A and B are shown apart, each in its own frame.
Chain A
Amino acid sequence: MKRIGPKRQGDVSPDLTSFSDIANLLIIFFILTTSLVRPFGRMMDMPSSAKPPTEQKQSDTPTVRLTTDRIVFSTGEKNEKEVTMNELRAELWRRNFPAQKPDKRAVVVETAPEVKYERYYQVATAIAAAGGVVAVMEE
């Protein structure tokens, strides 16, 4: 007589190779679509145009006049000089803006229409790095 017993189950082992395929596809997707690089930049403190700087501008407000080939720094009508970018940075640091009252931190930037953004950016970030507030002046 044949003995009846519990049927022996075969080994249950799910095929996992396709799982790793999916995982690898996901990794490739993330590598292609993401960026781990943290951008470089400078936080800009710019008064909104609701408060036009023209009204706030005083005679001794530092002003940077920017054209395609020249940078003129002035702190009054008779006190203006042409400077290089490094000299401008030194002038701005000398003013020690962080120790000044907020209304004394403004630096007016007068930019000629044909000035490229790179040039404006270097001046604006130099002002921000020195603790100043960039005030835009319309011509």
Chain B
Amino acid sequence: MAIRRRKKPSLVLPLSSMGDIAFLLIIFFMLASNFMKTGNVELEKPDAPSLEQQEPPKCSVLLDKDGQIWFEGTQVSKGEVTSALKELAEKDHEYTVHVAIHKDLTKRDFMPLIEAISESGAKMILTGEPEE
């Protein structure tokens, strides 16, 4: 007599909830993140004690290792930064700009930029790394 083999139940993984989780993660990232516009800029921030954690930047100006100015991810001149910030600060008097400068630059390189930003009327947050 032939023995009938028991049919194995087919294993089906319900994947529809995976998609839901993935979309929830996407929504989380969209709301909680701010885009890195200057990931390719070579910049080492200076260390200092008594720094405070700041809000994510509305706008950022960077002065890289070679003394190049980056405004919102685009390389610009000092004059262009001043005029752009002046325009933004006229619309919003509380306009705040995050400024990151490479730690090894000398006064000749960084002071003109700091003066240009203070001249524009925008509020300035000098960013750095908290000293441990």
Question: How many A-B contacts are there with CB distance less than 8 Å?
Answer: 144
How many residues from B make CB contacts under 8 Å with A?
Answer: 53
Q: Which residues of chain A have C-beta atoms less than 8 A from B25's C-beta?
A: 23, 27
How many residues from A make CB contacts under 8 Å with B?
Answer: 42
- Give B33's nearest chain A residue, CB to CB: A34
Shortest beta-carbon distance from A94 to chain B in Å: 16
Q: Which residues of chain A have C-beta atoms less than 8 A from B15's C-beta?
A: 16-17, 20
Please state if A136 and B114 are interface contacts (CB–CB under 8 Å): yes
**Beta-carbon contacts of A88-116 to B below 8 Å, as 1s and 0s?**
00000000000000000000000111111
Shortest beta-carbon distance from A133 to chain B in Å: 11
A4 contacts partner chain B, Cβ-Cβ < 8 Å: no
Q: Which residues of chain A have C-beta atoms less than 8 A from B34's C-beta?
A: 34-36
Please state if A41 and B107 are interface contacts (CB–CB under 8 Å): no
Q: Indicate whether A121 sits within 8 Å of B103 (C-beta atoms), given known contacts A34-B36, A38-B55, A44-B124.
A: yes
Q: Which residues of chain A have C-beta atoms less than 8 A from B35's C-beta?
A: 33-35
Q: Indicate whether A118 sits within 8 Å of B47 (C-beta atoms), given known contacts A39-B127, A46-B124.
A: yes
Q: Which residues of A contact B (CB under 8 A)?
A: 16-17, 19-20, 23-24, 26-27, 30-31, 33-36, 38-44, 46-50, 111-118, 120-122, 124-126, 129, 136
